[in-house]
Structures are given as structure tokens and as C-alpha cells.
Amino acid sequence: MKRLISLFLCFVLITGVLSSCGQSKGNDRSNGSGIKVMLTLSQADTFRNTLVEAAQKAAKENGVQLDVKQAESSLENQVKQVKDAVKEKYDVILCALVDADAALEIESLAGDIPIIFFNNCPDESRLESGKYVYVGSDEKVAGKYQAEYILDKFASAQEINVAIMKGPASQSAAQSRTSAFKDTLNASDKKINYVFEDRAEWDRTKAKDLFEIFSKTGQKCDVAVGNNDDMALGVIDACKEKGIEGITVLGIDATADGCTAIESGDMAFTVYQSASGQGDMVIQTAVALAKGNDMSKLSGVTKDQKYVWVPFEKVDSSNVKDYE
Amino acid sequence: MKKDKTISIKAKLLGTIIPVVIAIVVVLVVVAYQISAGIIEDNAANLLKTSVGSQESKIEAWINENLASFQMAKKTIEDMHADDDQIQKILDGYYNYSENYPDGLYLADSDGKILKASKSTKEENNATDSTWYKEGLTRVNMAVGTAYKNADGENVISASGILNDGSDDVRVISADMSLDRIAVIVNSFIEMDGAEALLVDKNSGMILANRDSALISKTLGESGQSALYRKIAKKISQKNYDFTTLDGNMTVFDEVNGTDWILVSYIPKSVVLSELSNLRNIMLIISLICILILCVLIERMTHVVISPVKKMTKVITAMAGGDFTVSMKVKGKDEIAVMGRSVEQFIESMKQMIKKIEEVSGKLKEQADASKNVSGEMNEAAGIQSQSMGEMNSTVDQLSISVNEIAQNATQLAGVVADTKSDSDTVENRMKETVEVSEKGREDMERVGEALGNIEVSIHNLETAVNKVGTASGEIVQIINLIGEIADETNLLSLNASIEAARAGEAGKGFAVVASEIGKLAQNSTESVANITNLIAEINRLVEDAVRQAGNSAGDISESAQLIQTAVDTFDTIFKNIQDTSHLINNVVDEINKVDEVASNVAAISEEQAASSDEILATSESMLNQAENISKNSQQVEEESDKLAISADHLADQIKQFKI
């Protein structure tokens, strides 16, 4: 009996010591008011500007103090901005990384301040639930939507010849979009021939050049897919120049040019990445993190709470007007 | 003393402490092992992930390095717009330039014409049907394709792409890397000891690199491969590249950028935990040693602590046996030392006490003996006293009896006198009664005389009355004679009437009947007159008798009256005699009363005397009882003092048992 009691006491002691280590500080703020958030943007462009505007609007609605800094494609600028954020005691940093590989550096500079990455996704190993989170759209879904459109359109065909214009090899978005696209197609019962697959580096001209070279090989092509709208437009340019017809062209991003191409019938399909949705979501996530790391109530949060996905939207001739 | 099964304190202490210590150590080892296992597994997983990441980057870098070389050559050719001779020179320059692609670069056009380094052994019968050519047509930037067997039967992977020299001819430039070479590269990049890696083409499932070269270019998960490989194949086909434990192996998947390759690295958990089992063994050995040291330490400590207790136990046991010659010598200042010193003090005080008891018991014995003697003497004296008292008692008894007899006699006498007195009273009463009776008798005699006179008068009256009856009956006879005459005349009349009726004939018939009836009545009246005459004659005879009788009675009564007068005279004489007797008796009664008083006094006095002698007797009896009691008590005292002497002897014996 005595032995049992002493054993029990040992366990109580050990568990007590272990459990007392894991206490975390709570944050008692009820809504967004009083939260100081800094946003550092890699480079301004149409998409990112839309995103920042949506974030500013959401910040105003939630009573969050949002300061936007431009890194102008300079990692040095971005690093300096993060250091300033620490000095000025911001609650949360919103960061569109200049370089995805710099995530670790940014995180160590920020110290205890949680960081919400957006627009450029760092490696998964750099993310941590409740501290380092990525808000964006799941690139795989974009590639999947393209593949689904093709499978739907060529439902009766046994064999589909596909050309792919990819983004830079180093960019995760390009890789994810391509692999999800190919995986979805490969999973179908159709014979998929990848007649062309090369990197056009997001570039319209490069895509045009590559497609022209491809056309020389005389291979049959049913579908040309770009990892973004620009590259898809490059394919369209090449087709127009060479007088090639009957190729279904798909892009991603629903840019103004892309939408115009859809309206004119040159492009069949694109996927809209909601800049305003992401801008809204970064603020929501910032509030959740500042309040006490509870992200479970955010919509689109993954199980491991490292990602918050803002859904993509399919765009074709039927709804293109909504995105112009 | 009964020999109980005793459990030593040492055994108790060891029996309690050691299991607890063992339990705690075991718990510590188990908890430490579990936590360490968790940490080590996490670390191993992280290490494996890092290792795979780094391996993947190295493979990627290796490929990119090679591709960069190819691209450079390609770019040179493109920018130069080189003719075949120039190309040949460039190709020759790349021959054996790198071990990774010993044959260097080669070109094929859409007609199947091949340009290659002069020393190259590359054989291609139908270039446009070859894998590298077909793959090369799908890209401008050179990239690695799928593995295939070349004309030499060697497993190779080609990096190929369209040569973009601005001409309208389509030409594909390519370079071959053998899978064996890739396998060497892949395996040489493994960072973690004990880990294995394999490179798989995720589209075809072909194994591109493996330490076991027999498996290279085989499809992953084919029959004959290990269960682990089949599970890896399944995971890849499901496109599930998360870290997982398969078949006891920690397995990491990583896609190689820019290719369709998947790098799989795995390490058996047992390898990861082998150091942990060492740690566990070391912990077990250390804990075993600790327990042993603890056991010895506790054993020694308890021995040292308990040895005075043992000594003390011996001393106390001896004390329990009555031996107080033992002594304790203790050192130190702990509780046990204090206890020892206290025991020592106890022994000393016990010794002194026993000595005193011994002395006291000796004295006690003497006193017991003395009291025994005294009580014996006392007993004798009491016996004598008792005897004397007995004798005195019998004397008083006799006295008492005598006095009682006197009293009895006096009482009897008084009784007799009293009886006589009552008898004389009775006699007196009887005399009075006799006087009264004789007076009454005389009165009665006188009354009888008077009654006889009255009777004489009455008889005279009766004679007169009877004479009057005689006269009255003579008158009745005359009347009856008259009636007789009337009846005769009536009878004559009826006869006449019947004769007259008969003559009247029929008319007188009724009258004839009445005449006969009157005749009958006259006859009856005649008869009655005769009867009454007889009756009166009788009455006359009876009255004459009564008168004769009354005359006789009157004579008798006169004689009785004379006799009664004589009796009354006699009575008077008797009465006088009785009255004289009564006087005499009264005198006697007076004398008797005087005697009665005297006798009563004598009886009362003698009774008082008897009572006094009874009291004396009772007193002397109680005195006798007390004398007997004294005797008994003195006997008891003697017995008690005997017992006391015995007890004193016992006490002395007991005390002798203590050794001091």
C-alpha cells in the first residue's frame, strides 16, 4: 500500500513538473482594437495593390492599426522594416516575402512577434501553428481547376495532347500548379500526351517564343496551359502569328488581359486568385493571432493550422464580366 | 520465555525501503526511457527530414549542374548558329569531360541523323523513335526525362531539348546519364547513418536509384520486393508524401524539384532507437548498481544504528530473566544512546530497590514468626476462658430451671385458688336460684287451690243447667203428643176425602189423588213423632248420667284441695332451710377471695424472678459465644501468621532469584 502511495506521489510530482512547463501567456483583447500590425510588401503590382487595399479596409473595420511598408524588391529593405517593427513593438507582422528562402531570417529578426506570410509562400518547415502562418490560395487547387475544365471539355476524347508553360523552377506556385494539374489529368482514364512542357518564367514573350519553336516540331496540340495568364497569352500570340487554330488555352490569375482574352474567345478559362479575399483574411488572421493564437475559427484554416486558404474562383466566358 | 518468530528491525527497514527504491528507480527509468524515446524519435524524424531535404537539394544541384553544362553547350551552339563541323568540335570537346555523362552530348534531327563525339560509342538505330528524342521535342530548355534502356542495354536517363538555333530544322540535343551513376550519387548524399534512400519516378514508378543495384530500373512494389517497398509504392501512388512510419521504418518522401522524381529515405526505428536501448541498458545497470549500493548502505546504516538496540535487547532480555548484574555502556548522543543510559539508570535503581525489598522481607519474616507465637498464646488463653464461661453457663442454667419451677408452682396454686373462688360463686348463685324456685313452687300450689274452688262452683252450675234440660224435654214430649193427635185426625180426614172422591166418580178422581197424598203426609208425621219421642227419652237418660258424674267430681275436687294445702306448707319449710344455707356459703366465698389475692401475688413475683434468671442465662450464653469466637479468631490469627511466615519465605526465595 505504502509503495502504491509513494508511486502515485512520484507520478503526481513528475506530471506536475512537466505540465507546469507548458503554460502560455493569454491575451485578453476582445476585438481588433488596439492591435498594431505592420505590412511589408515585396513589390507593388496590380494584384498586391488590390490585396493591400482590401487589408486596409478590413483593418479599418476591425479597428486594427495597419502600417504598410514597401520593400521595393529589396530584401535589405524588408529586413530593415522587420527590425523597425520589433523596435516599435508591433503585435503582428504581415509579410509578402521578397525571397521565400529568407523566411528563417525574417522570423529570427521578428523574435516573439508572430508573422503572417502572404503572396509568397515559404517552405512548410518554416511555418508554425499560431506563430508563422501563410495566408494565400492553395496553388494546387488552381492547377486542379484547369485540369477539371479540360477533362470536362474533352469528355468525349480518348487522347488529349497538352502543352504546358511553366513558371520558374524555383517558384513553389509554378511547381504546385503544374504538379496538381498533371496529377489530376493523369488520374483520369484518358491518355494524356504532354507534347510540350517548358519554363517560360511567367513571361508572355518567352511563352510566345517557346510555343513557336514547339509549333515547328509539327506535333498535334489540343490544349495549351499556362501557369499564369501572361504565358497563356503568349501562346495565343504565337498561335495568332503562326495562324494556328483550335487550341484551347487556359491561364491562371484572371488578369485584365486574361479576362479580355476570355471575352474575345481567345482564352477559354482562367482561375481568379482573390486579392481582396486574401487582404481581408490576413487581417482576420492577424487579429486571431494577436488575441491568443486561436485560429480554429477562421474559414479555410488547415488541420495543422499553418495555412489559411482563400478559395480560388473559376472564370470562363460565362462569368468573366464579374472579374473585369 | 516462549520463542516467538521475531522479525528484526533491519529486515523490516530493508523490506520496506528497498521495494520502494526499486519501484521509484523503475518508474524513473521507464519515464526517462519513454521521454527519451519520444525525443529521439522526433529528433530522428527531423534529422531524416533534414537529411532527405539536403540529399534532395544535392541531387537537384547535381542535376542542375549537369543541366547547366548541357545548356551552356546548347546555348553556344545556338548562338554560334554553328554548322555541323563546328558542332562536331564542340561535341568532341565534351566527350569524357565529366564522369556523369562520359559520352558527352549528341544531336539528332528529324530525319534520324545523329551527330555525336567522334570517340563516342553511342549507338542509335532509329533516333526519332528513341525516348530521349521524343522527350526532347517537348521542351526547349534541356531537362531530364524518364529512364530507359539504351541500345547497349544500359539503364540511362537522358537530358534533352530542342536546339533553338533559329533554323527551321528541328534538332534535339541530348546527353545520357547512367542510372548506376545516379544511384552512386544518390546514395553518397545520404547524411544519416543507417538510413537508406531510393529514387523513384513518380509517373512510371520505376526505381531510379537504390543501393541494391538489382532493383534499379525495376518498378517499385513489384512482386518479390519487401513489404516496405510495396507500402512505399502505395503511398506514392496515393500521392501522399507525408512523413510516416512504414513497416517499422521511419519514411520520408521528397519531390526533387524540376523532375518527376521522388526521393524516398527510410531508417528502421530499431536503428534510431539502438542508442536509446544502450541508454536504457546503461540506465538499468546504473539503477541496479544504485539499488545495490543503497541496499548495502541501508544495511550498514541500520546495522550501525541498530547495534546498540541489539545490545540493549540483550540487556533487557537478561533483566527480564532477573539478572541485574548486566550493564550497558553507550556512546553517542542520539535517541538510542539516551535510551541506553536510561536503561542503565533503571538497572541501578532496580538493584537498590531489590536490595531494600530483600531487607524488608527478612524483617517481615521475623515479624511473622513473632506474631505466630503471640497468637498461639492468645489462642490458649481464649480456650481456657471459653471453658470457664461454659461452666458458669451451666450453673446459671440450673438456677434458671429452679426459679422457673417455683414460678410454675406458684402459678398453679394461684390457678387452683381462682378455680375454688369461681366454684363458690357458682354455689352461691345456685342457692339463690333454689330460693327463687321454691318460692315460685309455693305460689303455684296456692294457685292450684284457687282453681279447685272455681271447679267446684262450675260443677254446681252444671247440675242446675242439666236439671233445667230435664224440664224442657218434658214440655217437648207434650207438644209432640199434640202433633201425634193432629196427624191421626188428618189421616181420618184423608180417608173420608178418598171415600167422597170415589163417589164423585170421574169428577172426583183428581181430588182422590190429593186425598191419598194427604193420607201419606199424615202417616209420615206420625212416624216422625214416634222418632222424636224416642230421641227425647234418650236425652233424658244422658242428662241424668251427667248430673250423676258432676256430683262425683265435686267430691274428688274437695279432697285435692286438702292435699294441696299440705304441699304449700311443706314448701315453706324447705324455703327457710335454703335461705340459711345461702348465708353460710356467702361467708365461705369471702374467705376464698382473700386466699386468691395472696396466691396471685406469689405467682407474679416468682415469674419476675424466672425472667431475670433467663436474662442471666442469655448473657452468659453470649459471653460463652464470644469466648468461642475469641478462640476461633486467635486460631485464625495463628493460621494467618503461619501463611505470612510462608509468604515471607517465598518472597525471600523470589528475591534470591534477582542477581544484584
Q: CB contact, 8 Å: B15 with chain A?
A: no
pLDDT band at B155 (very low <50, low <70, confident <90, very high): confident
Segments of chain A scoring below 50 in pLDDT? 16-30
Section B555-560 average pLDDT: 75
Q: In the beta sheet, which residues pair with residue A118?
A: A135
From B18, which residue of chain A is nearest by alpha-carbon distance?
A: A3
Of residues A237 and B510, more confidently modeled: A237
pLDDT for res A271: 94
* Residues B16, A14: C-beta atoms closer than 8 Å: no
pLDDT for res A26: 36
Place of cell 193427635: B485
In this complex, which of A10, A196, A197 lies closest to B24 when CB atoms are compared?
A10
Q: What are B321-351's pLDDT values in tens digits?
A: 878 788 777 777 888 888 888 888 888 888 8
Query: Which residues contact residue B511 at a Cβ distance below 8 angstroms, ignoring those fewer than 6 apart?
Result: B497, B500, B501, B504
Of residues B12 and B114, more confidently modeled: B114
The separation between the first and the last C-alpha atoms of chain B, rounded to the nearest angstrom, is 21
Distance, CA of B650 to CA of B401 (rounded, Å): 57
B contact test, residue of A18, A210, A225, A302 with most B CBs within 10 A? A210
pLDDT for res B173: 93
Q: In the beta sheet, which residues pair with residue B659?
A: B323
Distance, CA of B419 to CA of B415 (rounded, Å): 6
A contact test, residue of B135, B141, B167 with most A CBs within 10 A? B141
The separation between the first and the last C-alpha atoms of chain A, rounded to the nearest angstrom, is 79
pLDDT for res A238: 95
ipTM: 0.73
Q: In the beta sheet, which residues pair with residue A94?
A: A39, A116
In this complex, which of A6, A198, A217 lies closest to B170 when CB atoms are compared?
A217
pLDDT at B3 over 50: no
Section B407-420 average pLDDT: 79
Q: What's the gap between Cα B587 and its chain centre?
A: 100
pLDDT at B501 over 60: yes
Tell me the angle at which helices B84-94 and B9-80 cross, rounded to the nearest 10 degrees.
Answer: 160
Q: What are B439-481's pLDDT values in tens digits?
A: 787 787 778 777 777 777 777 777 777 777 777 777 877 888 8
A186 contacts on B by Cβ (under 8 Å): 203
Q: What percent of chain B is modeled with pLDDT above 90? A: 5
pLDDT for res A7: 54
A contact test, residue of B52, B140, B201 with most A CBs within 10 A? B140
pLDDT for res A24: 37
Q: CB contact, 8 Å: B350 with chain A?
A: no
pLDDT for res A20: 43
Nearest to residue A36, comparing CAs of A4, A61, A12, A59? A59
Section B507-535 average pLDDT: 82
Which residues 178-217 of A have a C-beta within 8 angstroms of B?
179, 183, 186, 194-199, 210, 213-214, 216-217
B23 contacts on A by Cβ (under 8 Å): 3, 6-7
Specify burial of residue B328 (Cβ count, 10 A radius: 0-12, 13-18, 19+): buried
Rg of chain A (C-alpha set) = 24
Q: What are B76-86's pLDDT values in tens digits?
A: 999 888 888 88
Q: What angle do CA B630, B631, B634 make, to 5 degrees?
A: 80
Q: CB contact, 8 Å: A96 with chain B?
A: no
pLDDT for res A22: 40
pLDDT for res A181: 94
pLDDT at B619 over 90: no
How is B253-284 classified by DSSP, letter by letter? Answer: EEEPTTSSEEEEEEEEHHHHTHHHHHHHHHHH
The mean pLDDT value of chain B amounts to 82
SS3 A34: coil
SS3 A147: helix
Q: Are B59 and B189 in contact (CB under 8 A)?
A: yes
pLDDT for res B398: 79
Q: Are A1 and B16 in contact (CB under 8 A)?
A: no
SS3 B118: coil
pLDDT at B179 over 50: yes
pLDDT for res A23: 39
Q: CB contact, 8 Å: B164 with chain A?
A: yes
How is B586-635 classified by DSSP, letter by letter? Answer: HHHHHHHHHHHHHHHHHHHHHHHHHHHHHHHHHHHHHHHHHHHHHHHHHH
Find the helix or strand (DSSP H, E) in which B114 lies: strand B114-116
Least confident segment among A271-280, B353-362, B632-641? B632-641
How is B379-448 classified by DSSP, letter by letter? Answer: HHHHHHHHHHHHHHHHHHHHHHHHHHHHHHHHHHHHHHHHHHHHHHHHHHHHHHHHHHHHHHHHHHHHHH
Q: What are B278-327's pLDDT values in tens digits?
A: 888 888 888 888 888 888 888 888 888 778 778 888 888 888 887 878 87
The residue ranges of DSSP E strands in chain A, in sequence order, are 36-41, 65-70, 92-95, 115-118, 132-136, 159-166, 191-199, 223-226, 248-250, 269-273, 307-309, 312-316
B140 min Cα distance to partner chain A (Å): 7
pLDDT at B640 over 70: yes
Domains plus CATH for chain B?
A: 24-278 (3.30.450.20), 350-654 (1.10.287.950)
Q: CB contact, 8 Å: B27 with chain A?
A: yes
Distance, CA of A237 to CA of A233 (rounded, Å): 6
pLDDT for res A6: 56
Q: What's the gap between Cα B411 and its chain centre?
A: 79
pLDDT for res B4: 58
pLDDT for res A162: 95
pLDDT at B232 over 70: yes
